[in-house]
């Protein structure tokens, strides 16, 4: 970066954790709308163990290619040699085994996704790189109850949060999915009540979630965690704080992706 850039206040971000080389070991379908990718690489042993609902950045070849292009950190983001963006996406490190160098990710398959297009042609042995983990979520050790809310992209994180909640806690889960085929079996928890809100075809993200949330039987002492499409999450947060008067110290809401403006 030139001195000129700095004087104009160009944003300089701390370089993220190093990109660790790995490869696709295998892939499977959890539902017709979600793929599980199993990655393997000895370098993954360098990654710290993630908290629940943490993140990793997955750098993949472009769809149809089996080569990982070179990238450089320009002080703000990774870029290819010609200055364009590489294919790097954020996912939840669902299962991580440091000693074995194994990492599993659940990836939503949707029409507009570059990651979906890459997955359609990816083969075992294809190279990837992983950086992380990013910040996760500290599960409330003494909640009055738990409310977990999200869309398909939040399901891997919701799975992990369910597993980290004490067995004597009532856990209500409200998840919006695009069709009944996208519903998944959730981890066993004795206090779990799950509701699947099915979006009508062409419905906006959140269009089934908000009504389901309004109908959910939760009191205002619960601890809540929510993630999904950013616009929908804005309304979820507002509803939890204003409509349900939840204590904001017990409410965590994260935007995981954004509908592309057309």
Ligand X SMILES: Cc1cc2nc3c(=O)[nH]c(=O)nc-3n(C[C@H](O)[C@H](O)[C@H](O)COP(=O)(O)OP(=O)(O)OC[C@H]3O[C@@H](n4cnc5c(N)ncnc54)[C@H](O)[C@@H]3O)c2cc1C
CA dihedral 60, 65, 71, 76 (to 10 degrees): -50
Closer residue to ligand X, CB minimum distance, 106 or 140 = 106
Closer residue to ligand X, CB minimum distance, 45 or 259 = 259
Residue nearest to ligand X (CB): 113
Closer residue to ligand X, CB minimum distance, 155 or 174 = 155
Would the CA dihedral through 248, 142, 153, 104 be positive or negative?
Answer: positive
Residues in CB range of 117: below 8 A, 6 or more apart = 63, 64
Strands (E), the chain: 20-31, 34-40, 55-60, 71-73, 78-80, 87-91, 95-97, 102-108, 127-134, 146-151, 171-177, 192-198, 223-229, 251-257
Q: Which of 113, 94, 90 is nearest to 28 (CA)?
A: 94
Q: C-beta of 214: minimal distance to ligand X in Å?
A: 23
Q: C-beta of 116: minimal distance to ligand X in Å?
A: 5
Residues at the interface with ligand X (CB under 6 A) = 55, 89-92, 106-108, 110, 112-116, 152-153, 156, 256-257, 259-260
Q: C-beta of 260: minimal distance to ligand X in Å?
A: 3
Q: C-beta of 161: minimal distance to ligand X in Å?
A: 12
Q: C-beta of 220: minimal distance to ligand X in Å?
A: 27
Closer residue to ligand X, CB minimum distance, 140 or 176 = 176
In terms of Cβ atoms closer than 10 Å to its own Cβ (0-12, 13-18, 19+), residue 71 is: middle
Closer residue to ligand X, CB minimum distance, 27 or 114 = 114
Closer residue to ligand X, CB minimum distance, 144 or 230 = 230
Q: C-beta of 206: minimal distance to ligand X in Å?
A: 12
The answer to whether the peptide bond before residue 244 is cis (omega within 30 degrees of 0) is: no
For residue 74, what are its two tokens? 């320009």
């Amino acid at each position: 970066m030139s001195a000129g850039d700095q004087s104009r206040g160009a944003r300089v971000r701390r370089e993220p954790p190093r990109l660790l080389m790995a490869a696709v070991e295998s892939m499977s379908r959890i539902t017709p709308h979600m793929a599980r990718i199993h990655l393997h690489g000895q370098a993954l042993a360098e990654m710290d163990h993630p908290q629940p609902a943490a993140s990793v950045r997955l750098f993949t070849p472009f769809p149809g290619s089996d080569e990982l292009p070179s990238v450089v950190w320009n002080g703000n983001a990774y870029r290819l040699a010609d200055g364009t963006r590489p294919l790097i996406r954020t996912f939840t490190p669902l299962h991580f085994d440091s000693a074995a160098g194994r990492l599993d990710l659940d990836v939503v398959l949707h029409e507009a996704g570059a990651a979906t297009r890459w997955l359609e042609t990816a083969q075992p042995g294809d190279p990837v790189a992983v950086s992380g983990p990013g910040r996760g979520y500290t599960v409330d050790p003494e909640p009055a109850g738990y409310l977990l809310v999200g869309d398909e992209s939040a399901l891997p994180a919701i799975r992990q949060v369910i597993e980290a909640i004490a067995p004597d806690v009532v856990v209500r889960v409200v998840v919006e999915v695009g069709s009944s085929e996208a519903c998944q079996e959730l981890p066993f928890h004795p206090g779990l009540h799950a509701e699947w809100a099915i979006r009508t075809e062409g419905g906006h993200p959140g269009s089934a979630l908000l009504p389901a949330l309004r109908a959910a039987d939760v009191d205002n002492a619960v601890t809540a965690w929510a993630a999904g499409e950013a616009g929908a999450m804005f309304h979820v947060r507002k509803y939890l704080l204003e409509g349900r008067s939840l204590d904001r110290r017990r409410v965590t809401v994260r935007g995981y992706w954004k509908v592309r403006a057309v």
